[in-house]
Every structure is written in C-alpha cells, then in structure tokens.
Structure 1
C-alpha cells in the first residue's frame, strides 16, 4: 500500500466468523459469512505490518497470517 493514500477494504467470509486484525495499524474488522463489511483507512506509517485472525475460527486458525507493506508516499 502507498503511505497516506485512502483505502477501502471489503471484508467477508465464506465459512465461519473471522476477524481481520492488524493491531499496529489499528485495524480490526469482523468477517461474517454472507455480509460485506467496509473498512476505510489511510496508512500513516511506513513498514511491514503483521496481522492475524483474532477470532478463534477452527482448526487452521493459527495459519491465517496477514501481511501489509506500506511504502512510498504522496
């Protein structure tokens, strides 16, 4: 992602409730089957940010990493 630009993420799930979470960017949004949830944000830091599913969702819960890289600037 580009530093300072606005982004619109649309979050959903195909199976059970998940929770898209990147704490160091203050991002958290539940992913609910059959619903589209909207998350608007502008990255205010450069770097690589790690996230995870914050809802205990099943057997593969621990293997759902999220990586966001913020580069450049406007």
Structure 2
C-alpha cells in the first residue's frame, strides 16, 4: 500500500469514529437504547486509530531524520 492509500484509509476511519460519536451522543440525549454503546465504540475506535496513526508517523519521522543524517 502506498502512503496515500494509508492516509485515505485513516481519514475514513477517523470520519467513521466521529460519526459514531455524534450518533451516540444524539441517541444518549434522546434516551434511545444503545446510545452509550455507540458513543463508547466511537471513542474507542478514534483512540485506537489515533494511536496507530501516531505510531506510524513517529516511524516516518525517524526514517526521515536518519535520511537527513546520512546526507550530511
């Protein structure tokens, strides 16, 4: 997979997590069943994808720093 595909996938998952949080919040405010569950799933999905994205970006930064050191 190219970096562009990975970025697009991560953006899609972030969007899904945000939509789940909004729907869960709406359901909770309206006292619909499973509102809290949807809200928690959205937050968990957002947290997991954030951790994955942060880890991926740290590796990318480290690789770029090594390339800069080699050029000097």
- Which is higher, the Rg of structure 1 or of structure 2? 2
Q: Normalization by structure 1: what TM-score?
A: 0.23
With a CA cutoff of 8 Å and minimum separation of 6, indicate the structure with the bigger relative contact order.
1
Structure with the largest fraction of strand: 1
Q: Normalization by structure 2: what TM-score?
A: 0.23
